[in-house]
Amino acid sequence: MTEPIELELKRIADRSRPADPDMEAMWSAISNRVAKSEGAGFRRRSFSLRPRKWAAPALIALCLAVAVPAFAAPALNWDWFAQRAAKSLESGDGVRIDRTITSGGYSFHLLGAVSDDYRTDLLFQLSGSDLSSFDYVAFGSAELTDGRGGLLRLSDHMTAEEGGTLNGLLEANAPMERGMRNYSLNVKDLILYKEVSVPVDLRAMGPNGQTAKVDDEEVAEATIESIVRTGGVYTVRYRLAAASARINAALNPRLILRSDGQPMNPTRSTLLPPPGDNSVLMEETYELSDAQLASAEFALSRLAESRRINAEWNFSFQAEGQKAEQAIYRRKLDSRSVANAAGADFKELVVTPLEIRLTYEEPVRSFKDYPYLDYEQATLLLNGKEIEGGMFMNGNGRDRYYRFLSPEWYRDWSDVPMQVRLRSLKVQAKASPDQLLELAGPTDAKRTIETEVGGFPVAFTYYKDGADLIVESNWRSETEGGITQTYIAAGDKRLLAEYVPEAPGGNGTRRKVERYRNVPQGELKLNPFLYHWTDKEKTETLTVN
C-alpha cells in the first residue's frame, strides 16, 4: 500500500475510532453552540430538582476566584464536583464568606471559596418556597470579576436538599490571581423550567431513515438515522430538526423511549457533531428485553420555561492567591519507576486543596505504531482507601492527567502512601494487509463470511443497497471488542466507508454497520483493517508517593 493511502486511511480511521473523550473540549464545543441558541448566558448544565438525568449544557459567562482562612462547612449533600471544595473549606484551605442575600423571594447563601493552580470554586446554596415544584433551574447570568475587571468563564453544578434547597458550586477553570484582591460576584435572574413531552410517531424497531413530524414549538421533525440491536442491547441514533433557523440546545430536546407508558433510562447518551445549527444528533443505548421493546414508543422531551424571576445577588470579598499556592504539594516522578504497558509517561503527582492530579504524556503514535494500548480505568490507593479517577486533557491532547478527589486532607503529604492501580487494557490493532476477503458478486441478498481477526472470531455480512454496498461486522468473541473500520480493495483502489461520527467507545454493541457509496463493478475484497479488544483483567499498580 502506498504511503499517501496509508495517511488517508489514518486520517479517517483516527476520526472514526472510539477514543477517550476530551471532556473539556466537548463542553467547550457544546457551550459555543448553546451560546448561539440562547442570548442570555447559562451555565454548563441546568439544575435538576428531581432525581433525573442531567440537562444539556447551557453557557454561563463568568470569571475569576479565591481562597484561605478557616471555617467548618455544613454537612450538606454536595455532588461529586463540590465535595472536594467542601472538604477544603472544612480543612481551612479557603476563604469564608458566609453571607446571604434575598432577592425576588429567593435566598442566595454564598458559603465560601477555594482555589488551586488549575481552578477556583465557590460554594453556595439557593433556597425558595417553590423551587421543588420545578424540574430545572438556571441563572440568567453570573459574573465574577476581580478589582482589575478580569473575567473568567464558570460552570456550575447543583444537587437538591429536602425542602427545595439547592447546594451549588460555581467553578472557574483558572486559578485566582497572586496577591490580595477584591472580588465581586454578580448573579442575575432565575429561570424556572418544567419538562414537557409529546408523542412522536416513530417505530422502535422500524426501518432506518423513518421520519415523523413533531407537534412542538422548538422541534419540527425527528428522524431515525440507525437502529442496532444485539441481544438485549438497543442503540438508536436520531436527528432532531428545529422548527426555526436554529435549534435551542439549552432546552435539551431529545427523544425518550417509553415501555408500557414508563420512561426507560438509557445506559449511555452521546451528543454527536450535528450536520448544522438547526439540528441535534444523538445516540443512546438501552438495555431492553424483547417484551419491553415490543411495547416501546418514542416521545419528544424538552425543557420549557415556566417562570422568569427578576432578581439580583451581589457579593464582594477579598482573597489572596499566593496562599492557595502554599497548600499545593508536588512530586516529580521517575519514569522508570512508573513504567507501564500502555507507555503513558507519568510526570508529576500534584496534590491541591481541590484534587489529586497525576499528570502524564501519551506516547507519540504514528500509523505504523499499531497496536495502541490504553488503560481505561485508574484507581488511587490512598492510605488504604480506594478512589476512582477520571481522565482529562490539556492543550494538544497528549498532555493528560487523572483527577482524584481526596476524602481527607493532610498538612504534610510527603509521607502519605499513594499508589495508582491501572486496569482494563484496551488494545487498538491493525489487521494484516494480506487478509483480503473476497466479496463474491454482491447483490441485495445478504451473504456472510466467517473469519478470524487477530485470533478473534468475526462475521462479516455484506449486501447491496442500490448502488451502495453495506458491510456489517459482528464480533463473535466473548472478549469485549469489535471492528473499528474496514476498507475495500477494488482493483488498485482502496475504498473507505462513509464517515459517520461515533460515540466514544462505539455504539454499545459488538456490531458495526458501514456504507460504501457507489461501489464499482468488478472484483471486490474486504480488509478488516482496524479492530479493538479489551483485556478487562489486566492490572498494573504504580507507586507514586
Count CA within 13 A, CB hemisphere, residue 531: 25
**Domain CATH code at residue 123:** 2.60.40.1630
Do residues 39 and 167 share a domain?
yes
Do residues 241 and 176 share a domain?
no
Q: Of the candidates 118, 100, 116, which has an alpha carbon nearest to the alpha carbon of residue 68?
A: 116
Looking at 273, 291, 323, the residue that finishes a domain is: 323
Do residues 126 and 59 share a domain?
yes
Do residues 202 and 53 share a domain?
no
Do residues 409 and 265 share a domain?
no
> Is residue 103 a contact partner of residue 312, using CB atoms and an 8 Å limit?
yes
Do residues 185 and 208 share a domain?
no
Per the listing, cell 437502529 goes with 227
> Is residue 501 a contact partner of residue 387, using CB atoms and an 8 Å limit?
no
First-residue to last-residue Cα distance in the chain: 48
Looking at 271, 303, 335, the residue that finishes a domain is: 303
**Domain CATH code at residue 262:** 2.60.40
Distance CA 132, CA 148 (A): 39
Do residues 277 and 210 share a domain?
yes
Distance CA 34, CA 154 (A): 15
Do residues 213 and 266 share a domain?
yes
Do residues 341 and 450 share a domain?
no
Do residues 245 and 101 share a domain?
no
Looking at 269, 303, 337, the residue that finishes a domain is: 303
Residue type, 260: D
Q: Rounded to two decimals, what is the model's pTM?
A: 0.73
**Count of residues making up the chain:** 545
Do residues 41 and 146 share a domain?
yes
Containing structural domain, residue 480: 3-19+430-536
Q: Please return the burial class of 279, using the count of CB atoms within 10 Å of its CB with bins 0-12, 13-18 and 19+.
A: middle
Do residues 110 and 80 share a domain?
yes
Total number of domains constituting the chain: 4
pLDDT in tens for each of the 545 residues of the chain?
Answer: 333 333 333 343 343 333 333 333 333 333 333 333 333 222 323 334 433 333 322 222 222 222 222 233 344 556 666 777 787 787 777 888 999 999 999 999 999 988 888 888 889 999 998 888 888 888 888 888 887 777 766 776 777 766 678 888 888 877 777 777 888 898 899 999 999 999 999 999 888 889 999 999 999 999 999 888 888 889 999 999 998 878 888 899 999 999 988 899 998 888 888 777 788 999 999 999 999 999 999 999 999 999 999 999 999 988 876 666 667 889 999 888 888 888 888 999 999 888 899 999 887 777 777 888 889 899 999 888 899 988 887 766 667 889 898 777 777 888 889 999 999 999 999 999 999 999 988 999 999 999 999 999 999 999 999 999 999 999 999 889 999 999 999 988 999 999 888 777 666 778 889 999 999 988 999 999 999 999 999 999 999 98
- Measure Cα distances from 403 to 175, 179, 318 in Å: 16, 27, 28
